[in-house]
Copies of this chain bind each other. A is one copy, B any other.
Amino acid sequence: MKKLINSPADVLTESLAGFAAAHADIVTLGENGAFVRRATPTPGKVAIISGGGSGHEPLHAGFVGLGMLDAACPGQVFTSPTPDQMIAAAQAVDQGAGVLFVVKNYEGDKMNFEMASEMAADIVAGGTATVITDDDVAVEKSTWSIGRRGVAGTMVVEKIVGAAAEEGMALADLAALGTRVNAATRSMGVALSSCIVPAAGTPTFTLADDEMEMGVGIHGEPGRRRVKTMTADEITEEMIAAITGDFAESAGAGGGAGEAQVAATAAAEAAPATSGPATDGGDEVLLLVNGFGGTPLMELYLMYHAARPRLEARGFRVVRSLVGNYVTSLEMAGCSLTVTRLDAETTRLWDAPVKTAGLRWGV
């Protein structure tokens, strides 16, 4: 195992300390490194807290700051943080308006955040609520989750909910918004190589020189199938077909991808037909090409170039884009595509100012 570390046991502690020191204008480290919080809180708003295993940086600590998260709880690499961490974070950032937890759908994370949410509800004046993200269409259940996994779409939920909280949206409305954005989001990934968890010291899985894992999870867990290497065009074709096909299924019988309006669970809160860009044809989307950590930016932009026309050929219009390493799997090579159907409200919230270590604009 070749890594820029001192010892596997100290990776998280030392990395977090470096993160907090490098971004002292944005974040502060909580006691014992239990959580990362904003250096400058916005008074009176609902606090948004996320967290999960480390190794996915900049998710989640890199998204703490104005317009996004109020705190993030980092676990050891690919290991859930503990309820204690989450409760400490909630106490630290609670402003009296309640706490919303954003949780990726993995058993460990769900269980611990659920415990924390219940316990924090007695401490936090404004109460607690939770949004579970499960945007990965690759598999219906996995070695790490019951139901779909929460992957790169989580950052889209965090961005949009974070912007709404900054504007003063109430807890119940934020929970509904987060659920709606998650329901409007689909992702799928592919891995060209494995990753090495420092404490394990050996690759999480192995791929032959001519193999890829199609539908891989963000911990290197299995996807749909092991396939021979394919071209960028072939890979994006399979991923976009899976994503748009899933949108179509959610829209119910008779709804082709191009005709599908808004995912079923989101229909209730969709913008009215006269008020926003998403209803102008109904299919405006955000396209996120997310690197897993070991793939050059050149290739991520090439994947964007391959994916976008395939979305557009199916009736979607790409109106917002993001390309980079945002929800990573240590040094795993590969990437995921995430598509979020936008409406007038979520487009505006996506565009709202954000000042975090990992995502920043407008400020």
Contact = CB atoms under 8 A, between A and B. Distances in A.
A308 interface: yes
B21 A308 contact: yes
A331 interface: yes
A2 B296 contact: no
A238 to B, nearest CB: 13
A14 B305 CA distance: 6
Contacts of A21: 304-305, 308, 321
Contact of A192 (B4, B58, B305): B4
A330 B15 contact: no
Identical chains in the assembly:
2
A232 interface: yes
Interface stretch (A270-278, A338-346, A355-363): A355-363
Contacts of A294: 293-294, 331, 333
A308 to B, nearest CB: 6
A92 interface: no
A14 B297 contact: no
B193 A321 contact: no
A18 B331 contact: no
A355 to B, nearest CB: 8
A212 B296 contact: no
B298 A11 contact: yes
Contacts of A293: 294, 296-297
A334 interface: yes
A19 interface: yes
Interface in A302-331: 302-306, 308, 321-323, 325, 328, 330-331
Interface in A24-77: 54-55, 57-58, 62, 77
A328 B335 CA distance: 18
A233 interface: yes
Contacts of A289: 22
Contacts of A308: 18, 21
A57 B14 contact: no
A288 B249 CA distance: 47
Contacts of A296: 55, 57, 293, 328, 330-331
Contacts of A2: 192-193, 209-210, 212, 229, 333
A355 B361 CA distance: 8
A300 B11 CA distance: 11
Contact of A302 (B18, B212, B231, B331): B18
Nearest to A209: B2
A354 to B, nearest CB: 10
Interface of A: 2-7, 11-12, 14-19, 21-23, 54-55, 57-58, 62, 77, 190, 192-193, 209-210, 212, 229, 231-233, 235, 289, 293-306, 308, 321-323, 325, 328, 330-331, 333-335, 355, 360-363
Given A2-B209, A296-B328, 14 more contacts: A2-B212, A2-B229, A4-B299, A6-B232, A6-B302, A12-B298, A14-B305, A14-B306, A18-B303, A22-B301, A296-B330, A296-B331, A331-B333, A361-B363
